[in-house]
Amino acid sequence: MALSPTLLWRGSAGATSYTVEVSGDESFSNIVYNNAVNITMVTVTPSLAEDTVYWWRVKANNENGSSDWSSVRSFKTKQTAPSELSLYNSFIFRAPFFMSPGSFTRCMHNLII
């Protein structure tokens, strides 16, 4: 799942808003996102940590109060690919390596570090 996931749920009759919580633990003692919205979806911002499991829940609100929390759902954010590397003060070294272990053919290979 993306680092800023969009969470969707089924609406509740009579609801005028929804409270959404996302937590870093299943007991919701580490709330990382809490927001009230008036539609049945929300995009979590700012971005969450990559390669991490989160739990979320939602409750319906109106002028008479709030519902109980929904059942808890979980998702795992994706691990992002490394960004492009920038090399500063790079040097080129020539290091020997064997192309074929059986023939011990020696050649030179460029290493950029």
CATH number of 34's domain: 2.60.40.10
| Domain assignment of residue 30, yes or no | yes
- Give the mean pLDDT of the chain: 82
- Cα distances from 32 to residues 24, 59, 67, 68, in angstroms, run 7, 17, 21, 20
Q: Look up the domain containing 53 and give its range.
A: 6-76
| Domain assignment of residue 89, yes or no | no
Between CA 35 and CA 14 the distance in angstroms is 19
Q: Is residue 19 a part of any domain in this protein?
A: yes
pLDDT given for residue 56 in this prediction: 97
Strands (E), 47-105: 53-62, 65-66, 73-76, 92-98
Mean pLDDT score, 74-91: 72
Against a cut of 0.85, is the pTM above it?
no
The neighbour count for residue 43, using CB atoms within 10 Å, is 11
In this predicted structure, the answer to whether residue 108 has a pLDDT above a threshold of 80 is: no
What are the CA-CA distances from residue 73 to residues 37, 60, 62, 96 (Å)? 18, 16, 23, 54
Instruction: State the Cα–Cα distance between residues 69 and 17, nearest whole angstrom.
Output: 13
Q: Could you tell me if residue 95 is inside a domain?
A: no
